[in-house]
Amino acid sequence: MRQARMTSALVCVLFMKVKFEHRAVIIGCLGAVPGFIIGVHYIDPLFSGAQKKMLFVSIWTAFAFALGILNAQKKRSTFREIPEFCAWKGWVLFFTGIIGGIFDAFAGSGIDICIFSVITLLFRVTEKTATPTTVVLKGVIAVFGFYYRAVMMGDIDIMAWRYFSVTVPISACGGPIGSFIGSNLHRQLVASFVYILETFALVGFLLTNPGLDLIVVGALIIIGGFVFFFFVSKAGASLMQTVIENEKQKQLEKAQI
């Protein structure tokens, strides 16, 4: 279902010519593809179904915290694309793509969360650009991941194919509609939907009566994600100040000329 939904949303973004950060997509994909292959062969077999569910919920909860950190910063300066792009920023995107690809392999989600968090919290790209960027990224990796598991590994159960066939019509319609509506809503409203949905997902996971070990590990992942995103946000604020100072310096040099 995710593959169909994200691919449909990807087509919608491209068809509507919505602005997205193409460098984050290209470099992120270059990292996510090998990351997914590593994850699906060496990381995914290490986890049970319940553990994967816990990881999925924990990762998305950490993402909700990232959104919370982002939206707590009132009147922050943002950019339509990554400012002063250079080699080290490319490497950051590449390694972020690898981590996101590994997460995608065993949790079904990761590249979108990782890239979104980095380009918004660290590079201060506006959500209006970051959201379609992650949609395009996730659509590409979802197609690759499904193809790799189905064709290269033959690892998709017949029941999964049946679920896929049933959900395609709904996902194919819902993905573009959601992408269109989301692009026209205020970012705070979109974020509130994420908070609500993630709360339901977290409560739903707890209602399945997971073991205490899963709850503890999940809580540690959420806390660790919050701490990590907090420091990334601080680094982004420092980087933003540097960019602003560089812009002022350039303006002064132009004025002197």
Better pLDDT: 98 or 49 = 98
pLDDT at 97: 94
Asked whether the predicted pLDDT for residue 5 surpasses 60, the reply is no
Q: Model confidence over 61-83: pLDDT tens digits? A: 887 877 787 777 767 778 888 98
- CA–CA dist 252, 58 (Å, integer): 47
pLDDT tens sequence across 177-210: 666 666 666 767 767 777 887 788 888 888 888 8
- The stretch 112-133 carries a mean pLDDT of 85
Closest CA to 123 of 66, 84, 75, 65: 84
pLDDT value for 13: 61
Q: Residues 122, 123, 128, 131: what is their CA dihedral angle, to the nearest 10 degrees?
A: -60
Find tokens 């907090």 and name the residue.
230
**Highest mean pLDDT out of 101-110, 181-190, 244-253:** 101-110
